[in-house]
Amino acid sequence: MARGHWLDPFARSLLEATGQLPRRPNPARRPEPAQTPIEAIQTEEVVERDLLELKLRQDPQRRLQDPSEAQRAAALGWRLDVNRASADDWLRLPGITATQVDLLVRLQRGGVQLSGIDDLERLLELPRSQVLTWEPLLLFRWYGDGAPHSANPRAVDLNHATAAALEQELPQLDAVRRARLLRERQRTPFRDLADLQQRLQWPPALVEELIGKVRFGQGPAGPQLPRSA
């Protein structure tokens, strides 16, 4: 039998530790394989997502700083229920302004709902690129009766359109509503849809139909109603 082969590993380690046998050289360790660029990016993304999760736990109302954080928050499961969101919820979206949030909240209080990302884009007059950064976080649930309206690419200026233009472009407005709109805008031009709904007391379903179909130009209001003799 060859010398030194009869010792089990434990006995050899004990004799080496007490100096009765010379220590064996440690085998060279294989270097760990370097990460590929894709693996490095994936590892960094996991670290950033875990870091964001920790920040959100420490501050549940923390505002998302940029589109990358919005994507990571979506991956963590955070969602914004568009038709039930509070002002604080909206303000967490990167790039949204207080004025835009105010409009959204006032419309929600009036019972108006948004049916999809196109509604949001047209209502806030945002570039498509900005809305798309929010899209992974947005949840569009329709509450109650009624179906989402269909989009119309032409926008009628409710502060300046003539009575004939209103009748032609917005058939959902009957003669009584058109007349009241024309009278009311002479007092003060409408600021936005929420202002119009509050002043004219139109039902939410009607206001929902107008999203994306109307705009509110500034300056003096359009022609007055003809006065009766």
User: Residue 221 has what pLDDT?
Assistant: 55
- Token pair for residue 62? 């923390």
Task: Please write the tens of the pLDDT for every residue from 34-93.
Answer: 667 776 667 777 888 888 888 888 888 889 999 999 999 888 888 999 999 999 999 999
Segment 130-145, tens digit of pLDDT: 999 999 999 998 887 6
* Mean pLDDT, rounded, for 165-184: 92
Residue 1 is predicted with a pLDDT of 45
Q: How confident is the model at residue 178, as a pLDDT?
A: 94
Structure tokens at 123: 């209502």
**Within a 10 A sphere around the Cβ of 223, how many other Cβ atoms?**
12
How many residues make up the chain in this entry?
A: 229
Contact 117/211 with Cβ under 8 angstroms?
Answer: no
How many whole angstroms separate alpha carbon 90 and alpha carbon 82?
8
Local structure of 193: helix, strand or coil: helix
% of the chain with per-residue pLDDT over 90: 46
Domain boundaries, the chain: 61-139, 156-215
Q: What is the pLDDT at residue 6? A: 57
CB 112 within 8 A of CB 193: yes
Q: Tell me the whole-structure pTM to 2 decimals.
A: 0.63
How many whole angstroms separate alpha carbon 48 and alpha carbon 51? 5
CB 48 within 8 A of CB 69: no
Helices (H), the chain: 9-17, 37-58, 67-75, 87-91, 98-109, 117-124, 128-134, 163-169, 175-187, 193-200, 204-210
| Mean pLDDT (the chain, rounded) | 83
- Please give the backbone phi and psi of residue 215, each rounded to the nearest 5 degrees, phi first: -140, 175
The percentage of the chain sitting over the pLDDT mark of 70, rounded to a whole number, equals 77
Do 113 and 143 touch, CB atoms closer than 8 A?
yes
**CB neighbour list of residue 178: distance below 8 Å, 6 or more residues apart:** 163, 166, 167, 170
Residue with token string 């949840």:
139
Report the pLDDT value the prediction gives residue 138, as an integer from 0 to 100: 94
Residue 182: predicted pLDDT:
94
Cα(174)–Cα(70) distance, rounded to whole angstroms? 43
Among 46-50, 141-145, 154-158, 173-177, name the most confident range: 173-177
Question: Is residue 173 over pLDDT 50?
Answer: yes
Least confident piece of the model among 48-57, 87-96, 100-109, 165-174 = 48-57
